Structure 1
């Protein structure tokens, strides 16, 4: 799953940019999901006094509202982006207004000042209203999502990669970088997605069909534990594929 974020000040062209990106990605036959960050403290999709609100107040840890045309699952807390993405199985997921996730980013802005306020080493493109004035800033292409959406999505296909895990630096960095640093280097063409040690693992853990990323230290513990038991069994052959299923 490839994930990127589009963020910028209100009325800078953020939603229009995302809308046009989604349309072009769909035109190219990709499956697309989206996540919208709402910067409003009083926001709640659940009205006070509604039946679902009463369920929540009574202590339900997860509430689902099923209508004729949509189903809404209500968590009584703020989920992290990593938790939210576990619900997605799409080719691309577009985050709107999300800045706290380790993913490539597109800034939308009115002017250079707004770009400067938000620019960091994970930004690979700029769009929005400023694209009417200039076509590049500090080596980063500025592309209109209205008049040149094909070029913008070409760049997305080039720069956005399978999402890296988000481990703390002290937990991993076995590739030589933190997860954030590796993201920056991949965007600048100084590293590859395959440089992540997690992607080179010879052991995979899934829980309820969700892949569970593991730092190399944990991989080694699990790998050595399984091999230590299985190699004592009749039929074991070194370097052959082993599958263990629990909870069928």
Structure 2
């Protein structure tokens, strides 16, 4: 799954840019999901007095509203983006206004001041209203999503990589960089997605069919524990493919 974020202030062309990106990705036969971050403190889909609101106020920790044409799952707290992305299994996921991620970013802006306020090493393109007057800014392409969406999506296909883990720097850095630093290196063409050594791990853990990222230290503990037990069993040989499924009754 490849994810990228589009960030910019209101009326900068952010949602229009995303609409055109999604349409073009779908045209190219990719599956696409999206996440919209809403920065209005009083925002709530679940309105006071509704039946689902009454469920929630009674103490239900997860409420689902199922209609004829949609299903809405209501959590009782703000979810981290990593938890939200566990629901997605798409080729691309577009994040609108999401800040708590190290994903590659597109900035939309009215002017260069707004670009500077959001510019960092994760930005690989600029769009929105400013694309009517600029074609490039500090080496970053400025592309009009209304007039040249094919070029913008070509760049997305080229630059956006399979999602990296988001471990704190002190937890991993086994590749020599933090997850954020590696992402920036990949965008600059100075590293590859395969440089994340978690891609090469010889042990993988899934919980309810969701793969769980593990830093090398945890991988090593789990690997050694399993091999230590299984190696005593008849039929084991070095290099054997081992599968273990655990379920609670």
What TM-score, normalized by structure 1, do the two folds share? 0.99
SS in structure 1 opposite 2:78? coil
Q: Compute the displacement of 1:246 (Å).
A: 1.0
Q: Compute the displacement of 1:149 (Å).
A: 0.4
1:30 aligns to what? 30
Q: Compute the displacement of 1:240 (Å).
A: 1.7
For residues 123-134 of structure 1, what are the structure 2 equivalents within 5 Å?
123-134=123-134
Give the Cα–Cα distance (whole angstroms) in 2 for the partners of residues 33 and 77 of structure 1.
22
Aligned residues: 248
Q: Compute the displacement of 1:87 (Å).
A: 0.2
Give the Cα–Cα distance (whole angstroms) in 1 for the partners of residues 93 and 205 of structure 2.
23
1:192 aligns to what? 192
1:118 aligns to what? 118
Q: Compute the displacement of 1:64 (Å).
A: 0.3
Give the Cα–Cα distance (whole angstroms) in 2 for the partners of residues 218 and 127 of structure 1.
41
Give the Cα–Cα distance (whole angstroms) in 2 for the partners of residues 187 and 162 of structure 1.
12
Give the Cα–Cα distance (whole angstroms) in 1 for the partners of residues 100 and 53 of structure 2.
29
Give the Cα–Cα distance (whole angstroms) in 1 for the partners of residues 196 and 108 of structure 2.
29
What is the Cα-based RMSD across aligned positions, in Å? 0.8
1:99 aligns to what? 99
Map Cα deviations across residues 156-179 of structure 1 (whole Å, 9 max, x no partner): 000001110111111111111111
SS in structure 2 opposite 1:218? helix
2:158 aligns to what? 158
SS in structure 2 opposite 1:170? helix
Give the Cα–Cα distance (whole angstroms) in 2 for the partners of residues 60 and 119 of structure 1.
41
Map Cα deviations across residues 27-61 of structure 1 (whole Å, 9 max, x no partner): 00000000000010000000011111111111101
| Residue 148, structure 1, aligned to residue 148, structure 2 | yes
Map Cα deviations across residues 111-154 of structure 1 (whole Å, 9 max, x no partner): 11111111011000000011110100000000011110000000
1:211 aligns to what? 211
SS in structure 2 opposite 1:3? strand
Q: Compute the displacement of 1:99 (Å).
A: 1.7
1:2 aligns to what? 2
Give the Cα–Cα distance (whole angstroms) in 1 for the partners of residues 100 and 213 of structure 2.
19
2:220 aligns to what? 220
Give the Cα–Cα distance (whole angstroms) in 2 for the partners of residues 45 and 234 of structure 1.
57
Q: Compute the displacement of 1:18 (Å).
A: 0.2
SS in structure 1 opposite 2:19? helix
Give the Cα–Cα distance (whole angstroms) in 1 for the partners of residues 141 and 115 of structure 2.
12
